[in-house]
């Protein structure tokens, strides 16, 4: 990660994150994540990053305590949102309000799916529908500052 030297009014520095310089975190089920903007770099209002899914892979159905947006960077997927399914491809972007169950599944049996996600809170968490287990996003990604 490369930080600039320009300071903003509250003392935080601007930063440039390079995915190629960040070790992906294994998520299980054929998915891995590169956390990008987090509290570690000074974010106060949102988190974002990239998740890569192997062929056919998906993260279990879940919901968050804040709004989320997902942009398809590469590949195609089926977005399962609140009981509905939507085919999505590169450039398509979702808005998922807090509390809405959802998951994305790679639609390809041969190609990877890459998504860019943004959570509208640095305190974002994920609750898995099947188990009820809730985990902070920054803890999942190893970017917690506490």
In a domain, 6, yes or no: no
In a domain, 108, yes or no: yes
Hey, which bits of the chain come out as E strands?
Answer: 2-7, 13-16, 25-28, 31-35, 47-53, 62-64, 68-74, 76-81, 84-89, 93-96, 102-106, 113-119, 125-128, 134-136
What CATH number is associated with residue 37? 2.60.120.10
- pLDDT class of 5 with cuts at 50, 70, 90: very low
In a domain, 15, yes or no: no
Number of domains observed in the structure of the chain? 1
In a domain, 1, yes or no: no
Question: For residue range 83-135, what is the model confidence (pLDDT) as tens digits?
Answer: 999 999 999 999 999 999 999 999 999 999 999 999 999 999 999 999 999 99
- For a pLDDT cut of 90, what percent of the chain falls above it? 84
- For a pLDDT cut of 70, what percent of the chain falls above it? 93
Q: What gap in Å lies between CA 49 and CA 15, rounded to an integer?
A: 14
Least Cα distance to 28 among 53, 62, 56, 5 occurs for: 53
In a domain, 10, yes or no: no
3-state DSSP assignment of residue 50: strand
Lookup: tokens for 49: 């990053």
Give the residue numbers spanning the domain of 45.
Answer: 24-140
């Amino acid at each position: 990660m490369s930080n600039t030297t320009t300071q903003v009014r509250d003392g935080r520095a601007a930063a440039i994150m390079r995915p190629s310089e960040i070790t992906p975190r294994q998520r299980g089920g054929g998915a891995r994540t590169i956390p990008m903007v987090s509290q570690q770099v000074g974010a106060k209002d949102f988190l974002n990053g990239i998740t890569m899914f192997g062929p056919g892979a998906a993260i279990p159905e879940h919901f968050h305590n804040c709004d989320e947006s997902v942009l398809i960077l590469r590949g195609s997927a089926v977005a399962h949102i609140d009981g509905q399914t939507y085919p999505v491809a590169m450039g398509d972007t979702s808005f998922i309000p807090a509390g809405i169950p959802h998951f994305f599944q790679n639609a390809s049996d041969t190609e990877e799916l890459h998504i860019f996600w943004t959570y509208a809170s640095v305190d974002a968490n994920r609750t898995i529908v099947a188990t009820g287990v809730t985990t902070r996003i920054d803890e999942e990604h190893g970017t917690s500052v506490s």
